[in-house]
Amino acid sequence: MTTTSDPLGLGNIGPARFDSIPTVRDGLAEVGYLADEGIAGVVYLADRLAKPVLVEGPAGTGKTQLAKSVAELTGSRLIRLQCYEGLDESKALYEWNYRKQLLRIQAGQVLAESDLGSGPDHHSPTWAELEEDIFSEDFLLTRPLLEAIRADTPVVLLVDEVDRVELETEALLLEVLSEYQVSIPELGTVQATRLPMVFLTSNNTRELSEALKRRCLYLHIDYPDIDRERAIIRRKVPGISDELADQVARIVRSLRTIDLRKLPSVSETLDWARTLVVLGISSIDATTARESLNILLKYQSDIDKAAKELLSATDA
């Protein structure tokens, strides 16, 4: 069996997860994610090069779903770190359990004073012992990043919407992403025993730092082409006829060529297709299209514009 390359000198980092690009693609298709050449290729490389993947692209094109599907495919646990403004070390990496530490110190004092635990060899703990005690793993609260590093089962780490954290907080991720380790001053360095697969998603609300980008493979997931979209619709919407799926895909493609404020995403396309199926519509005509456009488009100005571009002449 081929093993993953070992640029970090980490030694035992586990066997390669995938044999070839087609196996990635077929595997993902089995768990219901239809990947194109690019997506499958990058996932494959991420495994081989032991690098995180930074996934960017418009909303609703399956960025988060990709990580979930890879986890399902490889039988790994998915650990998710949802980013938000104000995320800090204690929420992302680890935190000392202050309350428990305090309790431990107080309990020590009480025990010493009341001599409850006294035996012949009893002595109250020295400061060094106490320090060692309260800064041990028992008092450590692991947060997603540390948890992913320490896991001894296979793990997929998903850092969602990484563009939401501040530039400074991004630096927290760097050690984890490039060395797969976390340094805790009181404990030392925790090194990954099995490399997790890491996915970072970004909606591109700001430019990520060069340092972060350099450490990642970059994957841009755009709206799918018509064949893939049709396949996705057929796959995800049970009971849809081939003609309807084809029609939906083609209408959505045409919509995406119009200059709209928010283009219809894949998930909205699926919602629309599902609605049509539920309503028992077998073929889309201008009226049905007009009445259900609000599922695809979220701004009134967009709806008006689309109706005008695609449907208007039917009124005349």
Partner 1 sequence: MLNLLSGFVEELRRAGLPVSLTEHLDAAEAVHHIPIEDREALKYALGATMVKSASHWHAFETAFDIYFARGLGTGEDGTPGPGAPGQGDESRLPGDQRGQQGGGAMDQTTPEELAALLYQALLQGDQPLMRVVARQAVTRFAGIEPGRPVGGTYYLYRTLRNLDLDAVLARLVGQAKREREDEGDLSMLDERLLGDEYRGRIDQLKKAVEDEIRRRLVEDRGAEALAKSIRKPLPEDLDVMHATRDELATLQRALRPLSRKLAVRLARRRRHRRRGPLDFRATVRRSLSTGGVPVEPRFRHPRPAKPEIVVIADISGSVASFARFTLHLVYAIQSQFSKVRSFVFVDGLDEVTRFFERADDPADAVQKINTEADVVWVDGHSDYGHALGVFFDHFGGEVTHRTSVLVLGDARNNYHASEDWVLAELRKKARHLYWLNPEPKDYWGSGDSIISEYGRHCDAVVECRTLRQLERFVGDLE
Which positions touch partner 1 (CB under 8 A)? 5, 7, 20-21, 37-38, 41-42, 44-45, 48-49, 51, 53-54, 56-57, 85-86, 98-99, 102, 106, 166, 204-207, 210, 213-214, 216-220, 222, 226, 247, 250-251, 253-254, 257, 259, 261, 284-286, 289, 299, 301, 309-314
CB 314, min distance to partner 1, A: 5
Task: Output 106 or 118, the one with its CB closest to partner 1.
Answer: 106
Q: Which residue number, 183 or 204, has a Cβ lying nearer to partner 1?
A: 204
Q: Please report which helix (H) or strand (E) contains residue 273, including its range.
A: helix 266-278
How far apart are CB 136 and partner 1 at their closest, in Å?
19
Give me the least distance between CB of 38 and partner 1, in Å please. Answer: 5
The two tokens of residue 187 are: 């404990």
Q: Indicate the residue among 50 and 190 with the shorter CB distance to partner 1.
A: 50
Q: How many helices (H) and strands (E) does the chain have?
A: 14, 9
The least CB distance from residue 180 to partner 1, in Å, is 16
Handedness of CA 177, 180, 181, 182 (dihedral sign): positive
Q: Judged by CB, which is closer to partner 1: 82, or 118? A: 82
Output 99 or 123, the one with its CB closest to partner 1. Answer: 99
Question: In terms of C-beta density within 10 A (0-12 exposed, 13-18 middle, 19 or more buried), how is residue 193 classed?
Answer: middle
Q: Give 230's DSSP letter.
A: H
Using alpha carbons only, give the angle 170, 82, 210 rounded to the nearest 5 degrees: 25
- Rounded to whole angstroms, how far apart are CA atoms 89 and 16? 31
Q: What token pair was written down for 237?
A: 């919407």
Least separation in angstroms between residue 248's CB and partner 1 is: 11
What angle separates helix 266-278 from helix 286-296, to the nearest 10 degrees? Answer: 130
Q: How far is CA 188 from CA 55, 147, 185, in A?
A: 31, 16, 6
Q: Report the residue number, 56 or 160, with the smaller CB distance to partner 1.
A: 56
CB of 153 to partner 1, least distance (A): 25
CA-CA distances (angstroms) from residue 307 to 226, 283, 297? 21, 18, 11
